[in-house]
Amino acid sequence: MNIRPFDYSDADYELYVRLSNAVYPDQPRTLEALRHFDATKGPGEIAQTFFIEQAGQAVGWFAFMTPRFNPLSGQLEVEWGLLPGHEPLSEALWGALERELARHRPGALVTRVREDWPQAAFYMARGFEVYDRMWPSTLDLGRFDPAPFQRPLPESIRIGTLADLDYHSEAVQRRYYALVTALLRDVPSAQPVELWPFELWQERSMKDKNLIPEANFIAFEGEAMVGVSQLWRSPRPQTLQTGLTGVLPSHRRRGIALALKLRALEYARQQGYRYVRTNNHQVNRPMLALNEALGFEKGPAQLHLKKSLFVKEEL
């Protein structure tokens, strides 16, 4: 077994995507998304990838990085994969990963893995524990009837989109950022959410090629933004991915979140998409209940795993 670092060449990007999609076909990656990820690393963030080769051919990889969606201090996120038939290399791969990680002295390792994948048992056998679950759910728009859910909005509320605004301007982006971060702070989850600074959010979100301004639906009261439901492009065929959906506490229980979701689903159908996917923390019962009522069907849960490490200080 030979280990070599990812060299950021076109060939290595293509190799990484090809391996990842072969091992995890239900979580497809694209070259564009991977390049965007590397181009938007924050100050001091870590991201390293290594290929596993056998007989001169890449048969797997491992990687570790500062967690992108919740970059808590001292934590590194890990991932790995091996092509079918090369599972006996798992122990050697993990040993190599631990040696590379040791140079960074992390306080904890985190990872995300589907509950029905063999990697879940592999991680747990090495001291990882479940600290959160997320439920991926899919709505088949061909079988969805919105009529039973239609309700009149409060007279003071209107729904528009990010595309209706001068969303390239910093002033609009800062208003939108204020709404998004206020809602993210309030999303029920097992760990406190660490928010991206505005400039990093600009690079990662507003310049993401998967952003669809026309599918970022915003609830307004006057000029104030009070709620949002986002749809993003997805590498899955005929599918849009739900991003953040939420309403400020001051405007809840007025049917606004439901109206935003319905507007987003109608957009997806009008654009010819067949499916809309979403992900919800298991503790986020209000949004889980709303999605279940709309007809979203759950898939196997994604486990969020964590292993605490004890780093001895040098004397």
CA distance 206 to 172: 11
What is the pLDDT at residue 194? 85
Burial class from Cβ neighbours inside 10 Å (0-12, 13-18, 19+) for residue 291 reads buried
What is the pLDDT at residue 70? 80
CATH assignment of 137-301? 3.40.630.30
Q: Are 61 and 50 in contact (CB under 8 A)?
A: yes
Q: Where are the domains of the chain?
A: 2-106, 137-301
pLDDT tens digit at each of 315 positions of the chain: 999 999 999 999 999 999 999 999 999 999 999 999 999 999 999 999 999 999 999 999 999 999 998 878 889 999 999 999 999 999 999 999 999 999 999 999 999 999 999 999 999 999 999 999 999 999 999 999 999 999 999 999 999 999 999 999 999 999 999 999 999 999 888 877 889 999 999 999 999 999 999 999 999 999 999 999 999 999 999 999 999 999 999 999 999 999 999 999 999 999 999 999 999 999 888 899 999 999 999 999 999 999 999 654 443
Considering only CA atoms, which of 265, 181, 202 is closest in space to residue 231? Answer: 265
pTM summary value: 0.92
Angle between helices 256-270 and 285-294 (to 10 degrees): 50
What is the pLDDT at residue 187? 86
The pair of three-digit structure tokens given for residue 43, joined into one six-digit string: 């100050």
Q: Are 104 and 115 in contact (CB under 8 A)?
A: no
* 2-106 and 137-301 have identical folds: yes
What is the pLDDT at residue 205? 97
Longest C-alpha distance within the chain, in Å?
69
What is the pLDDT at residue 310? 65
Superfamily designation of domain 2-106: Gcn5-related N-acetyltransferase (GNAT) (3.40.630.30)
